[in-house]
Structure 1
Amino acid sequence: MLFLLLLLLPGGAQTQRVVGRQEGGSCKCEVNSTWWMFPAGKYEAALQQVQTCEANVVNLLAQVMVSSESLPDIQAQLNNATARLEPFQYLSQRGLYTALSLRQLGQELSQLEADIGVIHREQNSPLTQKLSTEVEKLQQDVSRIQTAEIVNMKSVKEKVRNLKNSVQSCKTIPKDFTGQSKNCMKGLIKSISEPVTTKISPFGKSYISGSWGKQAKMDSEEQKNSYWVQPLVSSHIYGNTLRIYQNFEDFMSSSRHRDFTFAPSHTHTNSIEGPSAVLYGEALYYHCYRSTDICRYDLNNIAMEVKRAKLPGTAEEYNNKFPYCYYDCRSHSDVDVEADETGLWAIYATLGNHGNLVVSRLVWDEDAAVLNVSQTWETRLFKKGVSNAFMACGVLYASRYVNEDQEEIFYAFDTATGKEDNTLALPLQKVAKGTASLSYNPTNKQIYMYNDGYLLAYQVHF
């Protein structure tokens, strides 16, 4: 019996062999009980491990519950980020944000070096000498870039963009280009008034897209005080009609106007696409139908052929590729023609600049009857992140949607210096939600907004 008990004891018990004696008809023997004592120490250690394990399981279950409660919030944040990035997804899919090849970068630098050489021979100034030195240094960086990190290539690309903008600013431009003359105050816009003019479009509120404003050429002899309205009457995208009033009183009363038809139909090659027009001197400038061209229609010679200028870096047709967006996209607003104290401008975006805003200066050659693009600057502001833009004193300003009652001017790019400022917060009160066009007029320093069929004007203060 005792022998069997010893065999059943836990902890690897062993049998003990002892010498017994017969006494009173029975066999008696003495055994050492320490050989089969219960292993209390080992039991307590095992019990402690079990309790520790149970505590760990409880903690893990608590963490799982907390994670389960947080998952809906994390999923909501992920969905929000996905929705915000969706408009930019196609850029990533098409590889537009990948680093450029060394070959393409070298070609850009070679062209830039040639442009700087031409300007340096013409001007031979300390600035052009500095640009020559900088482009030589960049070429040395490119020669070492094969063994560098990819971020270095992007850094070089950004330096190339800045140099290209500096070269554009060095080209022949008016003396008042930097905002130092009597016609152009020095510095950025300080404030914008509440609407000083509010009127429903003479074509009705149903035409929610278009452009309007005052004659923008400062020394214009004809139509000096004229006001104009250009509605997009086909799908809020295309148009072929311009209405001109000789003065502000006629405009406000919608009387004594003259209509011009600058294309036979809405789908004609000379019709307008998008809210892009500006009346400058004796001509209307606008984005040509389904093209990357700027059109010029002469009001004094309607029999004259519509003149065109192709925007640089626009090899593909636009067709709503880079419209103004931010909150809602304004259909086919790819190209925007503007005017300021320094002349005519085109605001657009290109694939080569990754969909960011590009601004080109337009010059009409009266003698040759040719519309030219004289200079082009590239910015780092994504065009689809902007609700509209305009030029004032050679500075590009961009707006964004705040709510249904307000827009905000938040960004400025100075073409004279190449400097950017994204800290602006200039409010623009509005009547309706959408902003089809936003234009500055240098003759009275007012901003004109085509606000979903409402025509609003604001006073600008520098």
Structure 2
Amino acid sequence: MKLHVIVPLCALFTLTQQAPAQCTCELTNSEKVFPHGKLGSVETDALKCNSDITPQKTLELESLLLGLERRLPQLQDDVSTLEKEDDGDLYAVVSLQVIENELREMEQFMDQLNSTTLAHQHLTADTSKQLEELRAKMQELETYDTMQVVKTQRANKNLVQELDQCNNRLNVTTQPTQPPQGNCPHGTFLNITGPRVYTAGEYPGSHKYGAWGQDPKPDAGKESWYWLVMLTASNRFANYVRLYSSLSSLIVGVSTPGNVLISPSNPTTNTIQGPNVVLYGGELYYNCYNLDSVCRFNLTSKTVTTLQLPKGTRFNSKGNFCHLEECYPFTDLDLATDESGVWVIYTTTQDFGNLVLSKVEEGEPLRLGQTWHTTVYKQGVTNTFMACGVLYATRYINKDLEEIFYSFDTTTGEQRFDIGIFIKKLSPNIYALNYSPVDQMLHAYCDSYMVSYKVLFTLNGHADVFY
């Protein structure tokens, strides 16, 4: 009996040790292997193209051409002046010297223009070749999209853009501020265009803070001059103003007559503090060093006059222009010019940090004229400027855009917070913004670059652009 039982158990044990039956199938993929390495190469080439071709390169050439356009009529005027001074074939030595300087500067200007043009031609040729190669690679890569996913995504993206454009056309645009026609000889403030000028000047990448522009009330013979103030010590102080005989001279970095010293050292008494500076009537207006006062420096007599601001005025970086990410140090006082003269924009403890606007009256002694109190908080503003007796304030939108969002009309007392005019930036921060009533330009100092924008006005319902 025992043997009868053991045999079947052994047989059962033997059967359980046998390998189970296996089923295999062969899968053949008819699709080609996607070349991920080639896609990475295309992305790298595209990034290189983006870094090589920038708006700054285009604007550099435009700035040079604009400078040449303005230089030639000036030379023609100087030659005409020389011809009038002919006295028996004996020409005025001074006029000859002026023309000689003009020709020398134009020669330097043309050299820079030719160099820039040649560099752009090489860049254009290289970029065109790279784009052709990229197009061929992308066409090859699209052959792997057998499900047409990329094609569908592209069609959807185009459809979204068309819908956005349709919505933008339907939306009512914000009306710009409307100062009285009798108050502004140019008409109604309409828009900002540009940038028209973009240059690093003589010191590319240096002196992050500063200001530049034209004198709205220049001395005779200095109508085409430009001025520049750079904060050369700790991004806070400056002790001189730099002069240029023309816009093209400023662009190419040829300073004539050069620097006018305010003080021999920096910082010291009468030193410029902060970037908000203007030149008017041959006199520089700025925030006095370590004071809640406006200083006026006469470029001819080299004398300084001080104007004390009201008690409680915030200074020494306690009432700066700001946006969410940062404040601009030592921008407590903002000086501005327009068709009527010089203004100072500041804030006081009594006004709880809101903007205060005062007219600076010319003459001796220097004194403060009428004052207006606003309800816009200064640290929510990045810059201010004046045009035709209207105060405008800007705010930071992003690194590419600044918005003129606020206005205060000194004639009517009307405030508006819905201006909605945008400034296209080439650098993230605008540290100084000056309006020039000479040619209706806005001169901005942005991270060591000098940029200008054209202000458009409407006159009798028509847009008039002043060039």
TM band (smaller chain): 0.5 to 0.7
Query: 1:316 deviation in Å?
Result: 5.7
Asked if residue 453 in structure 1 is aligned to residue 448 in structure 2, the reply is yes
Structure 1, residues 403-431: CA drift from partner, whole Å, max 9, x if none? 11111111000011110111011111111
- Distance in structure 2 (CA, Å) of the matches to 1:220 and 1:340: 17
Q: Distance in 2 between matches of 1:241 and 1:256?
A: 13
Which amino acid in structure 2 is aligned with residue 207 of structure 1?
A: H
Q: Distance in 2 between matches of 1:292 and 1:244?
A: 27
Amino acid at match of 1:309: L
Deviation at 1:382, TM superposition (A): 0.2
Matching residue's letter, 1:348:
Y
Q: Which residue of 2 aligns with 1:383?
A: 378
- Name the CA distance, whole Å, in 1 between partners of 2:382 and 2:180: 26
TM-fit CA distance, 1:455: 0.5
TM-score normalised to structure 1 length: 0.58
- 2:64 corresponds to: none
Measure how far apart 1:199 and its partner are.
0.3
User: TM-score, normalization: structure 2?
Assistant: 0.57
Aligned partners of 1:198 and 1:424: how far apart in 2?
Answer: 25
Paired with 1:317 and 1:228, the residues of 2 have a C-alpha distance of: 27
1:296 Cα offset (Å): 0.8
Contact 1:184 1:341 in 2 (8 A): no
Select which of 324, 330, 333 maps to 1:332.
Answer: 330
- Corresponding residue for residue 205 of structure 2: 205
SS in 2 for 1:180: helix
Matched, 1:285 2:281: no
Note the 1:124-273 alignment, pairs <5 A. 180=182, 184-187=185-188, 189-217=189-217, 220-257=219-256, 258-273=258-273
Gaps in structure 2 of 5+ consecutive residues: 1-178, 458-467
Question: How far is the alpha carbon of 1:269 from its aligned partner?
Answer: 1.9
Deviation, 1:220, is: 4.4
How far, CA to CA, are the matches of 1:317 and 1:403 in structure 2? Answer: 27
Whether the 8 Å CA contact 1:330–1:436 is kept in 2: the answer is yes
**Using the alignment, how far apart are the partners of 2:195 and 2:275 within structure 1?**
20
Which residue does the alignment assign to 2:361?
363
| Alpha-carbon distance in 1 for matches of 2:223, 2:378 | 33
- Once the two structures are TM-superposed, the CA of residue 267 in structure 1 deviates from its matched residue by 1.8
* Mapped partners of 1:255, 1:329: distance in 2: 33
Partner of 1:428: 423
Matched, 1:300 2:300: yes
- Structure 1 residues 317 and 396 mapped into 2: Cα distance closer, same or farther (>3 Å)? closer
Deviation readout 1:249-303 (Å, 9 max, x if unpaired): 211221142101112222212001111111111111111111111111111112x
Residue aligned with 1:207, SS: coil
Q: Secondary structure at the match of 1:229?
A: strand
Question: In structure 2, how many angstroms separate the alpha carbons of the residues matched to 1:222 and 1:334?
Answer: 34
What is the CA–CA distance in structure 2 between the aligned matches of 1:407 and 1:458, rounded to whole Å? Answer: 12
- Residue identity matched to 2:297: Y
Count of aligned positions? 277
2:320 and 2:201 map into 1 onto residues whose CA distance is: 23
Q: Which residue of 1 aligns with 2:439?
A: 444
Pick closer, same or farther for the CA change 1:262–1:240 going to 2, 3 Å. Answer: same
Counterpart Cα distance in 1 of 2:453 and 2:399: 18
> Quick check: 1:335–1:347 contact (8 Å CA) kept in 2?
yes
Q: What CA deviation, in whole Å up to 9, does each residue of 1:348-369 have, x standing for no partner?
A: 111111100001100121xxx3
Shift of residue 203, structure 1, vs aligned partner:
3.0
Contact 2:199 2:251 in 1 (8 A): yes
CA distance in 2: counterparts of 1:240 and 1:178, whole angstroms: 40
Tell me, yes or no, if structure 1 residue 396 matches structure 2 residue 391.
yes
- Compared CA separation, residues 412 and 316, structure 1 to 2 (3 A): closer
- Aligned residues of 1:290 and 1:317 also touching (Cα < 8 A): no
Deviations 1:194-227 (A, max 9, x none): 200000142332211011111222x643521111
Deviation at 1:186? Answer: 3.6
Q: Secondary structure at the match of 1:332?
A: coil
**Could you tell me how far apart the structure 1 residues matched to 2:327 and 2:383 are?**
10
Instruction: State the Cα RMSD in Å.
Output: 1.7
Q: 1:178 to 1:307 in 2, by over 3 A?
A: farther
Q: Which amino acid aligns with 1:307?
A: T
- Deviating more after overlay: 448-457 vs 256-265: 256-265
Change in 2 beyond 3 A, CA 1:178/1:281: farther
Larger radius of gyration: 1
Conservation of the 8 A alpha-carbon contact between 2:226 and 2:245:
yes
Secondary structure (helix, strand or coil) at the match of 2:328 reads coil
Structure 1 residue aligned with 2:166: none
In 1, the alpha carbon distance for the partners of 2:235 and 2:408 equals 30
Moved over 6 A (4+): none
Match of 1:311 in 2: 309
Query: Does the 8 Å contact 1:323/1:332 carry over to 2?
Result: yes
